[in-house]
Amino acid sequence: MADFLPSHSLLSVCFPSCLLTSGEAEQQRKSKEIDKCIKRDKTYVKRLVKILLLGAGESGKSTFLKQMRIIHGQDFDKTAREEFRPTIYSNVIKGKATAAAYCVYAVLIGCLGLCSCLQGG
């Protein structure tokens, strides 16, 4: 008597969402959402530019990277700025110490013009 009805597999091909349980429909929705995220991430990765910075220690690789981040709009968040604070203070103190040492050297060799220039005057 039920021979005239199409088989379950044929119905699932013609009307896939009609024969799904609520759990299967939810799984299918999540699967499509995940597929969209994967596609979006693939597009992002294809457009991403990667640069390998090679060089000896203290040659400016990190400084170059930081400058690129600032120039191209990826600003530093608050935690990153807090991490850089000790380095910046250290660099300022070292710079002032170097300028003071040159000033002492200028006094010793009798070049007072260099000393006044280093003092900002």
59 is in an annotated binding site: yes
82 is in an annotated binding site: no
95 is in an annotated binding site: no
21 is in an annotated binding site: no
Dist. CA 75–CA 69, nearest whole Å: 6
Dist. CA 7–CA 12, nearest whole Å: 9
22 is in an annotated binding site: no
17 is in an annotated binding site: no
Residue identified by tokens 């929705």 is 29
Please work out, in degrees rounded to the nearest 5, the angle formed at the alpha carbon of residue 29 by the alpha carbons of 24 and 30.
95
Give the SS3 label for residue 50: coil
Tell me 2's DSSP state: G
Residue identified by tokens 């910046």 is 88
Closest to 15 in 3D by CA, of 26, 23, 4, 7: 7
Summarize the annotated binding site for GTP as residue ranges. 58-63
Summarize the annotated binding site for Mg(2+) as residue ranges. 62
Summarize the annotated binding site as residue ranges. 58-63
